[in-house]
């Protein structure tokens, strides 16, 4: 009966999952509406301006500009003697470690599995079930970010916050071998490492890499403030201040933001729905746990509980989203609810009509009158 007890213990967790899912779905719909209003507002007022000069007539306006990156400063990591002329450079330090995963079945039996991974954070092995799996307690070097103090796009100066958001897609490979040897490191492709063989590393091995921004042109979407920029604050309360690699118009950058917002919207809808389905499944789990001792019945009930959990979870998620639309998008939300109600009524009426017996009258046969013949 242990699995039944564990199932009942999960009921509270199920309600918590459902609550978190509902809150996430509600917040996501409101945030999505604010994002839509913000991008629509930006589409109407954005001004594309050249970057070769600052026009005071655009002061306080949402502007989009692009131009050549001007940066004279060289980023320098003194420890590893890494130098590169760039607005931003990042040092990433990873350690090869054990990672534990556990799985508990319906009877409460827990099995543990282990895999080796590169991770920038130290994984605490003190609580591992297998005490023979031991990770290092510290990293020999820490991660580091280096940013330039003076970066311009044409005649416009980027703020420190803008510089810190620049991408770091380029890998540094021009390592100083003499410095590496002094630190007992070897250079392998884009890494400095303590490993004898990066294709087959050992627990505790370290690899260090450097990434930086190598864009020759940048595009900016923000409010012009002097020869620099500040955040655009929409009427919906969203802040926008973007710097992108390459040369893009204002509407192109806004379209990128729209795609990002759309991806996040559907991702959070999926996560919220999964949480609700999982929560309902946890609440209904005692039913399948009780019947699980009867092999055939247990499997059938378990499948039914899974199907019911999914259908109820989807239904509840749709209801939450629909109510959120009524709150955030009244016209669309009410229209969808009315349309759904009309469809449900139509299907119910159609179902009732199909169950009625046919009233087609049955024709009775007329008796055949026999003629009396006189003989």
Question: What are the tens digits of pLDDT across the range 116-154?
Answer: 999 999 999 999 999 999 999 999 999 999 999 999 999
What are the structural domain ranges in the chain? 2-37+263-353, 49-248
Could you give phi then psi for residue 179, rounded to 5 degrees? -65, -40
Whole-angstrom CA distances from 299 to 193, 288, 323 are 52, 8, 36
Under 8 Å CB-to-CB from 6, ≥6 apart: which residues?
104, 106, 108, 289
What is residue 63's three-state secondary structure? strand
Asked if residue 273 lies in contact with residue 317, where contact means CB atoms within 8 angstroms, the answer is yes
Pairing of strands 82-85, 88-104: unpaired
Kindly report, residue by residue over 76-117, the tens digit of the pLDDT: 999 999 999 999 999 999 999 999 998 877 666 889 999 999
pLDDT band at 359 (very low <50, low <70, confident <90, very high): low
- 3-class DSSP assignment, residue 2: helix
Higher-pLDDT residue of 34, 359: 34
42-60 burial by CB neighbour count: b if 16+ within 10 A, else e?
beeebeebebeebeeeeee
Output the pTM of the full model. Answer: 0.79
Element (H, E) at 303: helix 295-328
Q: Which residues contact 168 (CB under 8 A, 6 or more apart)?
A: 88, 89, 90, 211, 212, 213
* Residue (of 126, 118, 88, 292) closest to 191 by Cα position: 118
């Amino acid at each position: 009966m242990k699995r039944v007890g564990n199932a009942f213990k999960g009921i509270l967790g199920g309600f918590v999952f459902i609550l978190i899912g509902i809150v996430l779905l509600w917040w996501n719909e409101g945030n999505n509406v604010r994002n839509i209003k913000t991008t629509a507002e930006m589409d109407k007022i954005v001004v594309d301006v050249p970057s070769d000069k600052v026009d005071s007539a655009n002061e306080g306006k949402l502007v989009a500009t692009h131009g050549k990156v001007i940066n004279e400063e060289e980023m320098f990591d003194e420890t590893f003697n890494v130098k590169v002329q760039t607005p931003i450079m990042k040092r990433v330090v990873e350690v090869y470690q054990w990672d534990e995963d556990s799985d508990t079945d319906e009877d409460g039996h827990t099995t543990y599995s282990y895999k080796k991974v590169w991770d920038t954070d130290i994984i605490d092995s003190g609580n591992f079930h297998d005490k023979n799996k031991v990770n290092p307690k510290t990293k020999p070097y820490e991660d580091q970010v280096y940013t330039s103090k003076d970066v311009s796009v044409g005649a416009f100066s980027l703020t420190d916050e803008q510089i810190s958001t620049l991408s770091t897609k380029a890998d540094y490979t021009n390592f100083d071998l003499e410095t590496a040897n002094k630190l007992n490191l070897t250079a392998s492709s884009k890494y400095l490492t303590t490993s004898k063989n990066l294709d087959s590393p050992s627990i505790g091995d370290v690899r260090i890499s450097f990434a930086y921004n190598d864009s020759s042109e940048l595009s900016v979407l923000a409010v012009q403030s002097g020869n620099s920029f500040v955040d655009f604050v929409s009427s919906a309360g969203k802040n926008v201040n973007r710097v992108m690699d390459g040369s893009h118009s204002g509407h192109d950058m806004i379209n990128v933001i729209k795609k990002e917002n759309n991806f996040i919207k559907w991702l959070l809808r999926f996560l919220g729905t999964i949480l609700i389905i999982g929560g309902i499944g946890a609440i209904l789990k005692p039913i399948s746990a009780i019947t699980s001792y009867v092999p055939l019945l247990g499997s059938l009930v378990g499948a039914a509980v899974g199907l019911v959990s999914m259908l109820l979870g989807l239904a509840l998620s749709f209801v939450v989203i629909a109510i959120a639309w009524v709150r955030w998008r009244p016209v669309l939300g009410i229209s969808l609810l009315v349309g759904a109600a009309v469809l449900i009524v139509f299907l119910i009426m159609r179902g009732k009509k199909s169950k009625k017996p046919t009233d087609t009258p049955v024709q009775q046969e007329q008796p055949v009158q026999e003629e009396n013949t006189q003989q």
